[in-house]
Amino acid sequence: MSTLFQRFDCEEALPRLYQFIDAELAIHELEAMRDHLDGCDNCAYEHEVRSKLKRIIREACLEVAPPSLRDKVVGRLAQLRAASAEAA
């Protein structure tokens, strides 16, 4: 039995996603997140969407985006999400 390796369930993993994306987690939490994302399609998908959104917003901010852009991005992601939920 090992206590070195922590495991997250979805309830523990999801609130940490942004910190994970920003590399703000402690090492043992990083490991647990990677492990969870490897085995959990739902959280892996959330991770992908949120890191994409973050990148898009960051790039958009560099170019001084119109205020409507974020709404557009969020709307598009919601569409993608609905589509992928239907496909699943």
Residues whose CB is less than 8 angstroms from the CB of residue 29 and which lie 6 or more positions away in sequence, other chains included: 6, 8, 16, 19, 20
Site membership for Zn ion, residue 40 (CB under 5 A):
yes
Among residues 30 and 57, whose Cβ is nearest to Zn ion? Answer: 30
Site membership for Zn ion, residue 78 (CB under 5 A):
no
Site membership for Zn ion, residue 17 (CB under 5 A):
no
Counting Cα atoms < 13 Å in the Cβ hemisphere of 33 gives: 20
Pick from 45, 15, 78: nearest CA to 70: 78
Shortest Cβ 33–Zn ion spacing (Å): 10
* Member of 17, 43, 47, 56 binding Zn ion (CB under 5 A): 43
Site membership for Zn ion, residue 10 (CB under 5 A):
yes
Chain contacts with Zn ion (rule: CB under 5 A): 10, 40, 43
